[in-house]
Amino acid sequence: MLMALYNLTEDRMLANMFWADGGSRLDYQYFGDVLAFDLTYKKYKYNRPLVIFSGSNNHKQATIFGFGLVLDETIGSYTWLLKSLLEVICQKMPSVVVTDGDEAMREVVRVVFPRATHQLLVREIELRKFRTDESASTPGRPSNTSGE
């Protein structure tokens, strides 16, 4: 059964929304030990963050557990979203949560999933390394070449 939860702004406009179909909810019960929290940032005409909750099944195939649309990238929006996820998926807590490392997201994961281990997405680690390497080689910027 499809389930959707949402809340409204003071102006009665959509603020946040979470939805998951019956197959996704069932998949989470079997494969939701590791939950990836991926934010596709404002890549459509309404300019609102879209969150995809996913994992991997027993065949190592990507499995979608649900979707969220949030008003903004604040602790309040993320808290509402993760609590809504828990409500829809029968309060099953993940063991590991994988995110892009956003500060608000990290704080909310720590509070809402207190026993879960938090990990960074591999692409975020690679991007951070690339940015660090790039800034170290930028002309006019000091770089550590002494090997220390």
Q: How far is CA 48 from the centre of its chain?
A: 14
In a domain, 104, yes or no: yes
In a domain, 119, yes or no: yes
Phi, psi (degrees; rounded to nearest 5) at 19: -145, 150
In a domain, 69, yes or no: yes
In a domain, 143, yes or no: no
Q: Exposed (0-12), middle (13-18) or buried (19+): which is 37, by Cβ within 10 Å?
A: buried
Q: How far is CA 101 from the centre of its chain?
A: 9
Question: Which residue range is the domain that position 96 belongs to?
Answer: 12-132
In a domain, 6, yes or no: no
- Other residues' Cβ atoms within 10 Å of the Cβ of residue 111: 13
In a domain, 82, yes or no: yes
Report pTM. Answer: 0.80
CATH of the domain at 94: 3.30.420
pLDDT digits (tens, 9 = 90+) for 89-143: 999 999 999 998 888 999 999 999 999 999 887 655 555 555 566 665 555 544 4
- Other residues' Cβ atoms within 10 Å of the Cβ of residue 123: 10
Q: How many domains does the chain have?
A: 1
**Residue 1 reports pLDDT greater than 80:** yes
pLDDT, mean over the chain: 85
